[in-house]
């Protein structure tokens, strides 16, 4: 099990569609109140999953924890959802109108079909100031598994209220700049056990038969071996006598080599 804070987060404001808010200690998501014309705000969060989860891992459970640190004076509770983002964005450039520089979203606020998945991967009902957790779901696990398999596809999640037509649903969610209240992604995964290291090949049964020298060594299954030689203890380079492909079962290998000099040294090695 591993936990990590966001590697990037930002807020998008409908009424400030060209302004970036990627360095604030909170990101607001939801609809503002009547005096602000119920305009919308949405938040983006990305976690560097590939930095902590092996590429051969199987993701088993995922939770995402957020802290709501500020609410409207007359709050309206609502369900918030995490929607997997389909396009890249820059923390210091993203805004309601564009995601990177002057590259526009498919639809403002990352609401286009090519911007984010319409169905949330996980939801949670948000009311007052508190800590909220998006619990593990099949879709949330699938999101993180996809990012483990293909890190370049990791664009994070869009956090938005399901009741954006209702005023006063806006909430201040702590960002990574907030320190101890920053969001936390928890991933539970399993990974294949690495194979045991190969046992060093030990040569035995050394014998001289006519003008050939013969020796043996035990080879482990599914491992390749190379038998090498040199004609002097002081020689720096080893020559290749033979390469032995991986075999399906443990076996004893026998090697013979004609002797054409007064001395010869052998070794067997495996990667």
Q: Is there a single domain that holds both residue 159 and residue 183?
A: yes
pTM for the structure as a whole: 0.75
Give yes or no for residue 35 having a pLDDT over 90: no
Q: Is there a single domain that holds both residue 123 and residue 46?
A: yes
Q: Is there a single domain that holds both residue 128 and residue 83?
A: yes
Exposed / middle / buried, residue 139 (Cβ in 10 Å: 0-12, 13-18, 19+): middle
Exposed / middle / buried, residue 45 (Cβ in 10 Å: 0-12, 13-18, 19+): buried
Does 70 fall in a domain? yes
At 255, the pLDDT band (50, 70, 90 cuts) reads very high
> For 84-132, how does the pLDDT look when each residue is reduced to its tens digit (9 = 90+)?
999 999 999 999 999 999 999 999 999 999 999 999 999 999 999 999 9
Task: Determine the pLDDT at residue 235.
Answer: 87
CATH code for position 26: 2.60.120
Task: Give yes or no for a contact between 154 and 147, defined as CB atoms under 8 angstroms apart.
Answer: yes
Burial track 77-110 (b if 16+ CB lie within 10 A, e otherwise): ebebbbbbbbeebbbeebbbbbbeeeeebeebbb
Percent of the chain scoring above 90 in pLDDT: 87
For the chain, how many structural domains are there in total?
2
Q: Is there a single domain that holds both residue 23 and residue 157?
A: yes
> For 193-228, how does the pLDDT look when each residue is reduced to its tens digit (9 = 90+)?
877 777 889 999 999 888 899 999 999 998 999 999
Does 198 fall in a domain? no
Q: Is there a single domain that holds both residue 145 and residue 54?
A: yes
Q: Is there a single domain that holds both residue 208 and residue 102?
A: no
Distance CA 249, CA 238 (A): 28
CATH code for position 254: 2.60.40
Q: Is there a single domain that holds both residue 43 and residue 128?
A: yes
Q: Which domain holds residue 178?
A: 2-190
> Where a domain ends, among 146, 163, 190?
190
């Amino acid at each position: 099990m591993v936990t990590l804070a966001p590697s990037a987060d930002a807020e998008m404001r409908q009424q400030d569609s060209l302004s970036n808010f990627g360095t604030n200690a909170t990101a607001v998501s939801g609809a503002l109140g009547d005096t602000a014309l119920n305009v919308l705000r949405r938040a983006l969060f990305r976690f560097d999953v590939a930095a902590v989860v092996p590429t051969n891992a199987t993701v088993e459970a995922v939770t995402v924890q957020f802290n709501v640190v500020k609410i409207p004076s007359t709050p309206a509770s609502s369900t918030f959802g995490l929607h997997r983002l389909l396009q890249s964005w820059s923390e210091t450039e993203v805004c309601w109108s564009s995601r990177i520089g002057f590259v526009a979203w498919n639809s403002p606020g990352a609401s286009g079909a090519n911007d984010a998945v319409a169905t949330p991967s996980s939801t949670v009902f948000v009311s007052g100031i508190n800590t909220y957790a998006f619990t593990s779901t099949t879709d949330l696990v699938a999101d993180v598994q996809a990012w483990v398999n293909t890190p370049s596809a990791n664009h994070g999640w869009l956090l938005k209220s399901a009741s954006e037509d209702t005023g006063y649903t806006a909430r201040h969610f702590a960002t990574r700049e907030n320190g101890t209240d920053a969001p936390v992604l928890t991933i539970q995964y399993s990974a294949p056990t690495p194979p045991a290291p190969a046992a060093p090949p030990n040569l035995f049964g050394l014998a001289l038969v006519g003008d050939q020298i013969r020796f043996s060594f035990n080879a482990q299954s599914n491992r390749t071996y190379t038998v090498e030689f040199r004609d002097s203890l002081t020689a720096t380079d080893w020559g290749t006598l033979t390469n032995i492909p991986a075999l399906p079962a443990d076996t004893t290998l026998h090697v013979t080599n004609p002797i054409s000099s007064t001395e010869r040294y052998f070794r067997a090695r495996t990667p």
